[in-house]
Amino acid sequence: MRREVLQGLEESPKTLPCKYFYDRRGSELFDQICDLEEYYPTRTEEGILQRHAGEMTARLGDQRCTLVEYGSGSSRKTRLLLDCLSHGTYIPIDISGQHLARSAARLSREYPHLAIHPVCADYTRPLALPQLAGRRTVVFFPGSTIGNFHPPAAQAFLRQMAEVCGEDGGILIGVDLRKDSRVLERAYNDARGVTAAFNLNLLKRLNRELGTDFNLARFTHQAPYNRSAGRIEMHLVSEAAQTVWIGQTPVRFKMGETVRTECSYKYTLEGFAALAAGAGLAVEQVWTDPKGWFSVQYLGVREA
């Protein structure tokens, strides 16, 4: 963590890895964000899943699949798929161990007919999954998390997922779509300040786990839409000229200088299909909401 944090803060402009948002408090705050009126992605995707879960699970191939979810969190959306499975295995993967353990225990009680095998890991790195008997492996990656990767990294990550699911498997993925920038900016700058607290909690975590000395009162949250790049950018803005110590290393901030903590790319359907094709995947089916704000897509591995 220290190495990645220092590397990001030495860049120009400064960055921090968004994966470190998700300690216990960060995971709780993100769950609150998902319920905000302004934050359309969760309820919109859940609506798509509610309407089409039967079709989606049919795409899994049979009722004895292995469903692997990257960044499972509370597995809130996944339940809509698990409700349609009478057999099979679910492998939730999340970086927040305590949050994952509580969620997996709850799921095991509620779905006793399914085998639940939680894996605490950073899914952006190579990982070992339990070797389980299952006719097909499908990777489930809901939300708009694929948008947190810059396009070349997103394509490489899709290729990595394809290797996990294998030739007979598939990927069920949530992809946020381009829309009015006012809708986007409201979603990431909510009136209650929950997203701001989520962003600032990253600094609180670094202070606790790395012994840094970020003064949270000297940073504010900002999330503008970068139209030319097609992405929302979350920033922490330094409200003063200041020096923060990362161990023995000083990091200097100018007044008004920002640290980019997250990007969230928004795609057109055609643009994402092209991205997937570059990773050796073909879009086989797309489900969207009536406004065309969000999509859930099923990707199959193309023959080499």
| Model pLDDT, residue 134 | 58
Quick: pLDDT tens for 184-202. 999 999 999 999 999 999 9
| Model pLDDT, residue 97 | 83
| Model pLDDT, residue 128 | 77
Quick: pLDDT tens for 245-266. 998 999 999 999 999 999 999 9
- For the chain, the distance separating the N- and C-terminal CA atoms, rounded to the nearest angstrom, is 37
- Alpha-carbon 271 to chain mean position: 19
Nearest to 36 by CA among 269, 194, 213: 194
88-107 burial, b for 16+ CB within 10 Å, e for fewer? bbbbbbbbbeebbeebbeeb
Nearest to 266 by CA among 159, 154, 156: 154
Non-local (6+) Cβ contacts of 138 within 8 A are 59, 60, 61, 65, 66, 67, 68, 165, 169, 170, 171, 172
* Cα–Cα distance measured from residue 171 to residue 141, given in angstroms and rounded to the nearest whole number: 8
Nearest to 60 by CA among 92, 90, 100, 36: 90
Mean of pLDDT values over 105-113: 93
pTM: 0.89
| Model pLDDT, residue 88 | 83
Per-residue confidence band for 133, with pLDDT thresholds at 50, 70 and 90: low
| Model pLDDT, residue 47 | 96
Quick: pLDDT tens for 142-153. 988 999 999 999
Q: What is the phi/psi pair of residue 296, to 5°?
A: -115, 130
What residue ranges do the domains of the chain occupy?
Answer: 40-180+266-301
Higher pLDDT: 219 or 302? It is: 219
| Model pLDDT, residue 228 | 95
Could you say which DSSP state residue 148 is in? G
| Model pLDDT, residue 87 | 82
Domain 40-180+266-301: which CATH number of 3.40.50.150, 3.40.50.2300, 3.40.50.880, 3.30.1390.10: 3.40.50.150
Per-residue confidence band for 71, with pLDDT thresholds at 50, 70 and 90: confident
Average pLDDT, the chain: 92
Mean of pLDDT values over 155-177: 92
| Model pLDDT, residue 69 | 93
Quick: pLDDT tens for 214-249. 999 999 999 999 999 999 999 999 999 999 999 899
* Cα–Cα distance measured from residue 240 to residue 221, given in angstroms and rounded to the nearest whole number: 14
Higher pLDDT: 14 or 74? It is: 14
| Model pLDDT, residue 95 | 82
